[in-house]
Amino acid sequence: MIYLDNAASTQIHEEVLDAMLPFLKEQYGNPSSIHRFGRLTEKAINKARKEISTLINASPDEILITSGGTESNNTALCGIANLNDGNHIITSSIEHEAILEPCKKLEKQGFDVTYLSVNNKGLINPDELDSEITDKTCLVTVMFANNEVGTTQPILDIAKICKNHNVPFHSDAVQAVGKIPIDVKNLGIDLLSISSHKINGPKGIGALFIRNGINIDPLILGGGQEYGLRSGTENVSGIVGFGKACSLAHQNLNANISHMKNLRDYMVSKITNEISHTTYNGHETLRTPNNAHFTFLGVNGEDLIIKLDENGIAASTGSACSVKTQKASHVLQSMGFSHEQISGSLRLTVGIFNTKEEIDSTVDILKKVVSELRSVSPFKEKYGF
């Protein structure tokens, strides 16, 4: 199999697994215990917290460990909303469901949510953000990089606008971490969501960066772990694995970025040159180094994925989460894509373990499969395939 769905999840790094195993076997102490079993796991968590914080240039005490990107987003949104007088939130129309769904819930509770529009490349307009902020605005949340088309937002501009208005700024950086250098101090971000399994770590673990001085209302109450912001006995092996994944991502950041970008650019140029009636979607330069998103006119994306799978290639139409609900992508709709363009879309996301040979095979198979599907397409006459 050739795995080109790294935006959905990634292969665990061998070193990450090795770091985790002792904590699934002999190191089973509760980190809150006073005896040496407890002290050992507590120490392992502290080390991991340091590794996580280093990747984004935060302090360890600004890292709240969660069960993943979804929980981090929920915690940021509800945690800020519950504590504030303001009842207005600003986000973008292309966020992940883990932002949009909590927004919907807050709307039901009486919050106003403004959804910023995006252009046909998936970029928000900072001026629109500036004009939408009111004295009721208690949070701005705009994703760092989009999970379907890879577009990266003008985060520095957004953070400056929020700072001018004295409104906290949260960013869902799940797709950006490990692919783009992120320095929360330089960027002026107040809250930032990260997920382990998108950077070759284990699933079910992630973090929310919360700048010192920002208060949030805890969603989970109990024994007071995680500074009282998220109670419950820590997922020690997961945390250790996540820490290791962050440390590897930090160490290899530049090499990983150029590896992924080289493969992606090579793949994009082959596909757009060798397959007709194909568009490369999203922004040319403001995008994550691993994301490629195409529309193959006259082809149904789901059929394409099934055919690719039969031929040993794992790909996606877009977000893994919206595939099951069979909804047309809200991201592509917001970017002004027609129904036909949305239907023919395919996302290929490379990872640190992919090779050039895999890309060559993928393009060969894709050529064959697209042409098979086009030979029976209802749009055959229209495009003259």
The residues carrying an active-site annotation are: 321
Q: Rounded to an integer, what distance in angstroms lies between the CA atom of residue 45 and that of residue 240?
A: 6
Please, what is the minimum distance in Å from the beta carbon of residue 216 to ligand PLP? Answer: 18
Interaction of residue 195 with ligand PLP, rule CB under 6 A: yes
Contacts of 197 (CB under 8 A, 6+ apart): 9, 10, 68, 203, 204, 205
Interaction of residue 94 with ligand PLP, rule CB under 6 A: no
Closest CA to 99 of 131, 140, 66: 140
Long-range contacts of 113-118, Cβ-Cβ distance < 8 Å, separation of 24 or more:
113/88, 113/89, 114/88, 114/89, 114/90, 115/91, 116/90, 116/91, 116/92, 116/142, 117/93, 117/334, 118/92, 118/93, 118/94, 118/151, 118/334, 118/335
Site map for ligand PLP, 136-165, x if CB under 6 A? -------x---x------------------
Q: How many helices (H) and strands (E) does the chain have?
A: 15, 12
| Residue of 31, 68, 301, 344 that binds ligand PLP (CB under 6 A) | 68
Interaction of residue 175 with ligand PLP, rule CB under 6 A: yes
Q: Which is nearer to ligand PLP, 96 or 307 (CB)?
A: 96
The bridge status of strand 278-280 relative to strand 291-296 is: antiparallel
Contact 322, 97 (CB under 8 A): yes
Report the side by side order of strands in the sheet with 291-296: 278-280, 291-296, 345-349
Interaction of residue 69 with ligand PLP, rule CB under 6 A: yes
Interaction of residue 330 with ligand PLP, rule CB under 6 A: no
| Residue of 48, 98, 140, 315 that binds ligand PLP (CB under 6 A) | 98
Q: Which is nearer to ligand PLP, 68 or 218 (CB)?
A: 68
φ/ψ of 47, rounded to 5, equals -65, -45
Q: Rounded to an integer, what distance in angstroms lies between the CA atom of residue 232 and that of residue 363?
A: 47
Please, what is the minimum distance in Å from the beta carbon of residue 132 to ligand PLP? Answer: 22
Q: Nearest to ligand PLP by Cβ — which residue? A: 69
Q: Which is nearer to ligand PLP, 195 or 256 (CB)?
A: 195
Q: Which is nearer to ligand PLP, 62 or 95 (CB)?
A: 95
Tokens of 276: 């007709």
| Residue of 174, 271, 346, 359 that binds ligand PLP (CB under 6 A) | 174
Q: Which is nearer to ligand PLP, 8 or 297 (CB)?
A: 8
The bridge status of strand 88-92 relative to strand 137-141 is: parallel
Site stretch for ligand PLP (CB under 6 A), options 67-75, 232-240, 325-333, 341-349? 67-75
Q: Which is nearer to ligand PLP, 147 or 237 (CB)?
A: 147
| Residue of 202, 206, 289, 298 that binds ligand PLP (CB under 6 A) | 206
Interaction site with ligand PLP (CB under 6 A): 68-70, 96, 98, 143, 147, 172, 174-175, 195, 197-198, 206
